[in-house]
Structures are given as C-alpha cells and as structure tokens.
Amino acid sequence: MTAHVSVRGDVAVLVPAAGLGLRLGPGGPKALRLLGGEPLLVHAVRRLALAPSVGCIVVAAPVDGVSSVQDLLAPVAPVLVVPGGATRQASVAFALAAVPAEFDIVLVHDAARALTPPELVEDVAAAVRGGHAAVIPVLPVVDTIKQVSDSGIVVATVDRSSLRAVQTPQGFRRSVLEKAHASATDEHTDDAGMAERIGETVHTVPGSEMALKITRPLDLEIAALLLRQ
Ligand SMILES: Nc1ccn([C@@H]2O[C@H](COP(=O)(O)OP(=O)(O)OP(=O)(O)O)[C@@H](O)[C@H]2O)c(=O)n1
Ligand SMILES: C[C@](O)(CO)[C@H](O)COP(=O)(O)O
C-alpha cells in the first residue's frame, strides 16, 4: 500500500493521534473529537497534505480505531495508519517504523495541533533540508514563570528571556530520530528531548499561534474561533 501524498514531497510526517484526551474531558479519543464539524485529525492531516514538502503521512491511531481512521482519512489524503501505543513516545516509535525507506527527513506532528498551517511545516522541513538535524518551532513565553514548592510556596522567579514554548511539527534527519528513539530509556514529552539526550544540537524556528495544542476545553473553543476567522 502506498503512503505517498505527492510525488515531489521528500518529507514523511508522523502524526501521533492515539491519545485519550483526558484533559479535554469525556468525549472519546481527542484526535476524533469534532472542531467545526470535523475531527481534529482530519483538520491536521488536511493541512499537512497541503504542504508541498510532504510526501508521506503515517498516523498512529487509537488501537481499536485503526480501520475507522483509515476510512475517515481516505477522502482527505493518502495515509498509512498504524496502531498507537500507551504513550506518545510509543505511538511515534510505531509510526516511525512504518515510514518507507526512501524518506530521509521525518517530521513528528501532534494531531492535537489541528490548525497548524502548512507554512510552518514547510519552515521546519526547509531547516532540516538546509542542514539542521533536529528542528523545533518555538514561541516566546508570555507569562512570568515562577518555581513553586510542593507546599505552594514560591521558590524563585525564573528568568524567562531564554525560555520558549515548544510546538510541533518537529523535524529530524531520519537517522537522528531513529537513534533517539532506539536510545531512549525514559519517557520524554517531545522527540527533540530524546535528540538532546543523545547529544544532538536542536535548532529552533519561529512557531505559529495557529499551532496551539488543543489540550483543555478552552483550547477547543479558541480553536473554533480561529477556524471561523
Ligand atoms: N498514547 C498516546 C498519547 C498521546 N498521543 C498523541 O500525542 C499528541 C500530544 O498529546 P496530548 O495533547 O497530551 O494528547 P493526550 O495524551 O490525548 O492528552 P491527555 O494527556 O489530556 O490525555 C496528541 O495528538 C495525542 O493523540 C498518542 O499518539 N499516543
Ligand atoms: C510534543 C509537544 O506538543 C511539544 O510541546 C508536547 O510536549 C506534547 O504534549 P503533552 O501534553 O506533554 O503530551
């Protein structure tokens, strides 16, 4: 079965979409929750497929939803669908194992960042193509950040000038992502964290407000407003 979205794209994108969405509240797996009448996963995959660099999309779906996700995405873009794992990291690893051999650049993109514009995908892909083995989109931190003890007492005010909020898609030379996953002995919240652990330099590019991660109920309402704009 071919997973190619277009003949010109040299980039494979892994889409972890197997999370439960516990912070969003009841309503089933988050990637299948509706935004403007369509599942988050459909929004995410449609935007990925619009990025000219993308030649292959591999989705890690809820374990009991592989065939329904295949049916859901068939009219949107050609995709490979694999069963996800118990953690995001496991879901990414399963999807990575399914990437066809010819793709040397691999991006990892949360289904939960459903409104991420194709332009950000292109920016990350271009930075990897340009020679950076690991690339992440980031935004400045806008709140004052404090370190707080378990008992709720402020320990310190953190200098935020060097802090960044990290988004996806995160882009890698395939060999780097494979090595990072093969070497990981503990759980990481993002793939760049695993690359850091094996000594890779991680490059940043400017992120996008549209790439917000839909995590809590208010995020879904904000995304609905953004979608209507
Ligand atoms: N076992 C898991 C856990 C998460 N994810 C995916 O990783 C992305 C980022 O995870 P997050 O936003 O934290 O999603 P959930 O794990 O679903 O959220 P929660 O922690 O609230 O349950 C999501 O697209 C989610 O579907 C996954 O593929 N497999
Ligand atoms: C990968 C990620 O989206 C980068 O911000 C994020 O770490 C994943 O979110 P989670 O909620 O911690 O799984």
pLDDT, one tens digit per residue, over 177-218 is: 999 999 999 999 999 999 999 999 999 999 999 999 999 999
pLDDT for 7 beyond 50: no
How high is the pLDDT of residue 1?
Answer: 41
* pLDDT digits 0-9 by tens, 140-164: 999 999 999 999 999 999 999 999 9
Centroid of ligand 2 to alpha carbon of 189 (angstroms): 5
* Side chain identity, residue 153: I
How far away, in angstroms, is 190 Cα from ligand 2 center?
6
Domain coordinates of the chain in residue numbers?
Answer: 11-228
Q: Are 16 and 188 in contact (CB under 8 A)?
A: no
**Among 23, 30, 220, which is best to mutate for testing ligand 1, by the most ligand atoms less than 8 A from CB?**
30
The closest alpha carbon to 220, from 80, 23, 75, 73, belongs to 23
**Structure tokens that stand for 58 in this block:** 């591999």
Q: How far apart are CA 44 and CA 66, in angstroms?
A: 17
Q: Is the pLDDT at 2 greater than 70, yes or no? A: no
Q: What is the pLDDT of residue 229?
A: 86
What residue's CA is closest to ligand 1, atom 4? 19
Write the residue with the smallest CA distance to atom 1 of ligand 2.
190
Q: Does domain 11-228 have CATH number 3.40.710.10?
A: no
Residue 21 Cβ < 6 Å to ligand 1: yes
Does the pTM surpass 0.80? The reply is: yes
* Share above pLDDT 90 across residues of the chain, in percent, rounded to a whole number: 96
What sign results for the dihedral spanned by CA atoms 88, 94, 97, 100? Answer: negative
Cα–Cα distance measured from residue 161 to residue 173, given in angstroms and rounded to the nearest whole number: 29
Across 47-73, average pLDDT: 97
Name the one residue in this structure whose structure tokens are 């960042």.
113
Residues 6+ apart with CB under 8 A from 30: 19, 20, 21, 24, 40, 111, 112, 214
Is 4's pLDDT higher than 80? no
